[in-house]
Amino acid sequence: MSYLKEKYEQFINKAVFKTINHKDKEIEYYTLGDNSTQTLLLLTGGSGVSEPFFEYCLFFSKRFKVISFNYPECESLNSLVDIIFSIINNEQVKDLYICAQSMGGIIAQVMLLKQPKLIKKLVLCHTTTVTKNLQQLYANKLKENTKTLKDLEPVPELVLKQAVTNKIKKSIEQHLFVNTEFWTNLFQQSIKQCNKQQLITPIILMNDFAKNYCFNEFSFADNANKVLIIDSKADKAFTAEQKLALNNIFKDASKQHFVNESHMGILESSAKYINLIDSFFENKL
């Protein structure tokens, strides 16, 4: 058995899968670890599935209670953030730490805006934000995403699942130089668990972010010192302007600028990222 398969099986055996009722909707999530005071929330990227972050769940469950989940069906960032806070309340979280990748970083910014005192540390990894100088870029993206959503309306769920899997497989083959078969199978397995509405939710959330949010250097000024930004020159998911905008609104944040890590570096180079994030949580950066 490969190292990754062994770690994944450990994750499955240790994860406790739970359900809460939120506004008459069943919301599924899972936890690892039993720390009663410190909790780590892992927010996944635009795939919407969280199981590929199993190595992070295992490592950080040694001293945190770790919470994660696949993104449920949502019509807005506010509705998703409300669901997340319901999970947090159900777990009686006192001190919240967040590690957020890509789309997760956008969700985390909305959470920080709503409940800054609850969040002790926040890692924004390979993500972006919305500022005034990016509004035209997002207006174009909004137009593109709106067309995509319309085009997807008649597409059967199974066809969409295969299309999403193929897109992720292509990205894995481009960026993950080893264990491509393992990662492709894991994403495919995770995507099979999602319904059509879940798969298009990340597009809906990005549209909401583009239309209804705009931050500046004052938006998070009082909380920037609790933030770590991780980005990379080689990450082509966001433009240089999008990366710079995030750094500018969190001027006092800790920052790690990689050169050669791809958008999937958090999976490809997990040991390096885990050590970096752990050092930040331990105030050793």
Residue 275 has pLDDT above 90, yes or no: yes
**Could you please report the per-residue DSSP string of 72-97?**
---SSHHHHHHHHHHHHHHTT-SEEE
Supply the mean pLDDT for the chain.
Answer: 95
Average pLDDT on 124-146 reads 95
Average pLDDT on 190-211 reads 95
Tell me the residue type at 61.
Answer: S
Give tens-digit pLDDT for 170-188.
988 887 668 899 999 999 9
Residue 46: what pLDDT? 92
CATH topology of domain 3-131+215-281: Rossmann fold (3.40.50)
Residues facing 256 on adjacent strands: 230
What angle in degrees, to the nearest 10, is found between the helix axes of 77-90 and 196-212?
110
Separation of alpha carbons 251 and 129, rounded Å: 13
Give tens-digit pLDDT for 29-38.
999 998 888 9
Residue 1: what pLDDT? 56
Give tens-digit pLDDT for 214-273.
999 999 999 999 999 999 999 999 999 999 999 999 999 999 999 999 999 999 999 999
Tell me the residue type at 41.
Answer: L
Rounded to two decimals, the pTM is: 0.96
Give tens-digit pLDDT for 36-45.
889 999 999 9
Residue 131 has pLDDT above 80, yes or no: yes
Average pLDDT on 148-156 reads 96
Task: Give residue limits of the domains in the chain.
Answer: 3-131+215-281
Strand order through the sheet with 65-68: 16-22, 25-32, 65-68, 38-43, 95-101, 119-125, 227-232, 254-258
Q: In a 10 Å sphere around its CB, with 0-12 CB exposed, 13-18 middle and 19+ buried, how is residue 243 labelled?
A: buried
Q: Among residues 160, 162, 15, 41, which one has the least CA distance to residue 111?
A: 41
Q: Where does residue 80 fall: left (phi above 0), alpha (psi -120 to 50 degrees), or beta otherwise?
A: alpha
